[in-house]
Chain A
Amino acid sequence: MLLAKTLKSSTYRLALIAIGIFGLIVSAIFLYVYWSTASYVRGRADRAIVAEQASLRDTYTRSGRDGLAALIGQRVADESFADHVYLLAGPGSAVLAGNLTQWPAGAAEQGWAEFRAPVPSSASADPLVRGVTEALARGDRLLVGRDISDLDGFTARIKAAGFAVIVLIFALAAVASIAVTRRTVGRIESINATSRAIMLSGLDQRIPLRGSHDEWDRVAENLNLMLDRIEALMGDVKQVSDNIAHDLRTPLTRMRGRLEKAYHAPRNGEGDAALIGDTIADLDTVLGMFASITRISEIETRARRGAFRTVNLVEIASEVVELYDAAAEQVTTRLELAGEPAVLVIGDRDLLFDAIANLVDNAIKHGLAGGRVTVTCDGDEGSAVISVADDGPGIPADQHDRVFKRFYRLEQSRYTPGNGLGLSLVAAVASLHGARIELRDNAPGLLCRLHFPAAA
Chain B
Amino acid sequence: MTGAHRRILVVEDDPETAGQLVEELTTSGYDVDLAANGREALDRSAARDYAVITIDRMLPDIDGITVMRQMRDGGIAVPFLIISALGEVDDRVRGLRAGGDDYLVKPFSFVELLARLEALGRRSETVAKETIVRVGDLAVDLISRTASRRGRKIPLLPKEFQLLEYLVRNEGRVVSRAMLLQHVWDLHFDPSTNIIDVYVGRVRRKVDDQQAYPLIHTIRGIGYCLRAPG
| Residues of the B chain whose Cβ atoms lie less than 8 Å from the Cβ of A14 | none
Q: How far is B51's CA from A232's CA once the two chains are assembled, in angstroms?
A: 53
| Residues of the B chain whose Cβ atoms lie less than 8 Å from the Cβ of A421 | 192
**A residues 277-304 with Cβ under 8 Å of B?**
277, 280-281, 287-289, 291-292, 294-295, 298, 302, 304
Per-residue CB contact flags for chain B residues 189-230 toward chain A (1 = under 8 Å, else 0) read: 111110100110110000000000000000011000000000
Q: Which of A302, A304, A361 is the one whose CB lies under 8 Å from B193?
A: A361
Question: Nearest-CB distance from A358 to chain B (Å)?
Answer: 8
A298 touches B199 (CB 8 A): no
Task: Kindly specify which of B29-37, B54-62, B86-94, B142-150 makes contact with the partner chain.
Answer: B86-94
Q: How far is B205's CA from A330's CA once the two chains are assembled, in angstroms?
A: 12
**A residues 238-289 with Cβ under 8 Å of B?**
277, 280-281, 287-289
| Residues of the A chain whose Cβ atoms lie less than 8 Å from the Cβ of B185 | 319, 323, 353
**A residues 323-351 with Cβ under 8 Å of B?**
323-327, 329-330, 350-351
Per-residue CB contact flags for chain A residues 410-436 toward chain B (1 = under 8 Å, else 0) read: 000000010101000000000000000
The answer, yes or no, to whether B128 is at the interface (CB within 8 Å) is no
Q: How many A-B residue pairs have CB under 8 A?
A: 65
Q: Mark A residues whose CB is within 8 Å of B.
A: 277, 280-281, 287-289, 291-292, 294-295, 298, 302, 304, 307, 319, 322-327, 329-330, 350-351, 353-354, 357-358, 361, 417, 419, 421
Question: Nearest-CB distance from A366 to chain B (Å)?
Answer: 13
Q: Which of A291, A302, A325, A351 is the one whose CB lies under 8 Å from B190?
A: A291
| Residues of the A chain whose Cβ atoms lie less than 8 Å from the Cβ of B47 | none
Q: Which of A295, A323, A353, A358 is the one whose CB lies under 8 Å from B87?
A: A295
B199 touches A307 (CB 8 A): no
B189 touches A323 (CB 8 A): no
Question: Nearest-CB distance from B93 to chain A (Å)?
Answer: 7
A361 touches B190 (CB 8 A): no
| Residues of the A chain whose Cβ atoms lie less than 8 Å from the Cβ of B90 | 302, 304, 307
Q: How far is B198's CA from A361's CA once the two chains are assembled, in angstroms?
A: 12
**Which 7 A-B residue pairings sit nearest by Cβ, starting from the closest?**
A326-B202, A327-B198, A326-B199, A326-B198, A288-B192, A298-B88, A322-B159
| Residues of the A chain whose Cβ atoms lie less than 8 Å from the Cβ of B98 | none
Q: Which of B93, B109, B187 is the one whose CB lies under 8 Å from A307?
A: B93
Q: How far is B18's CA from A170's CA once the two chains are assembled, in angstroms?
A: 83
The answer, yes or no, to whether B127 is at the interface (CB within 8 Å) is no
Per-residue CB contact flags for chain B residues 75-100 toward chain A (1 = under 8 Å, else 0) read: 00000000000011110010000000
Q: How far is B90's CA from A350's CA once the two chains are assembled, in angstroms?
A: 11
Q: How far is B101's CA from A436's CA once the two chains are assembled, in angstroms?
A: 37
A329 touches B221 (CB 8 A): no
Q: Which of A287, A304, A319, A330 is the one whose CB lies under 8 Å from B198?
A: A330
Interchain residue pairs with CB less than 8 A apart (19) = A280-B221, A281-B221, A288-B192, A291-B87, A294-B87, A295-B189, A307-B90, A323-B159, A323-B185, A325-B157, A326-B199, A327-B199, A329-B202, A350-B188, A353-B185, A353-B187, A354-B187, A357-B195, A421-B192
Closest to A298 in B: B88
| Residues of the B chain whose Cβ atoms lie less than 8 Å from the Cβ of A281 | 221
| Residues of the B chain whose Cβ atoms lie less than 8 Å from the Cβ of A304 | 90
Question: Nearest-CB distance from B158 to chain A (Å)?
Answer: 8
Q: How far is B189's CA from A357's CA once the two chains are assembled, in angstroms?
A: 12
Q: How far is B15's CA from A183's CA once the two chains are assembled, in angstroms?
A: 67
Q: Which of B107, B192, B202, B221 is the one whose CB lies under 8 Å from A292?
A: B192
B107 touches A361 (CB 8 A): no
A326 touches B191 (CB 8 A): no
Closest to A349 in B: B186
Q: How far is B88's CA from A324's CA once the two chains are assembled, in angstroms?
A: 24
Q: How far is B144's CA from A176's CA once the two chains are assembled, in angstroms?
A: 89
A288 touches B199 (CB 8 A): no
| Residues of the A chain whose Cβ atoms lie less than 8 Å from the Cβ of B201 | 326, 330
| Residues of the A chain whose Cβ atoms lie less than 8 Å from the Cβ of B202 | 325-326, 329
Question: Nearest-CB distance from B7 to chain A (Å)?
Answer: 29
| Residues of the B chain whose Cβ atoms lie less than 8 Å from the Cβ of A326 | 198-199, 201-202
